[in-house]
Structure 1
């Protein structure tokens, strides 16, 4: 147990009509302070997207999520937020929003490798 570290995660949701509160999961973001890890993985199901919205394309939604990837990586393409400390970037991405792309409440756990947790959570809640 001593070699395990804490991690936090949030499920990324697509909610095209916020007032209807209908959503589907499109990704996962995982953060581990001790491992200095912030990772994001997403998949946009074309059939679900068509059923939920005709107002936004898969390409547009992918562009928004690419911006989230830049923030996770801390690259200049992540803008001012991409320059924040890794924990602040996670908090900013996982913060409560009233937009089409939002996150679930954060959850925590213990793991050996947060990148493996990212894959496991992604397969369980998104695919």
Structure 2
């Protein structure tokens, strides 16, 4: 018997140090799977790559901003967004913006294990 496959949505977080140039590198992945009540993100900044790519980028600020994303996913932050329903948090985090941290367009797939899917996407796009 095969495992239940459910749809999931994901986006890749991009670091865009100079927004006007639209050059970026991937720093995280977020996965939402409502059927499993799953919302989580994995984040990692390759500091060496960032220093080569954009040495003037404030690394501490970037890391602090990115660290909030998993907290919002878990609903553990003290901010208003963390208290929103899970799906609304996903849409808020993946809304297009013109800042140095930008989400990719949202993509959809099928999974029977959203946590494993998040890990696989993170390995594929970030590591």
Q: TM-score range by the shorter chain?
A: over 0.9
Residue 10 of structure 1: aligned partner: 11
Distance 1:107 1:37 in 2: 16
User: Does residue 89 of the first structure (1) align with residue 89 of the second (2)?
Assistant: yes
Deviation at 1:2, TM superposition (A): 6.7
Distance 2:65 2:77 in 1: 16
Residue 47 of structure 1: aligned partner: 48
Residue 33 of structure 1: aligned partner: 34
Matches within 5 A, 1:54-73: 54-73=55-74
Distance 1:52 1:88 in 2: 33
Native 8 Å contact 2:41 2:70 kept in 1 = yes
Name the TM-score, length of structure 1 as normaliser. 0.93
Q: What's the C-alpha RMSD, in Å, of the aligned pairs?
A: 1.3
Deviation at 1:76, TM superposition (A): 3.5
Give CA-to-partner distance per residue, 1:46-67, whole Å, 9 cap, x none. Answer: 1211122223333321110111
Distance 2:106 2:5 in 1: 19
Name the TM-score, length of structure 2 as normaliser. 0.93
Distance 1:81 1:17 in 2: 27
Distance 1:39 1:56 in 2: 26
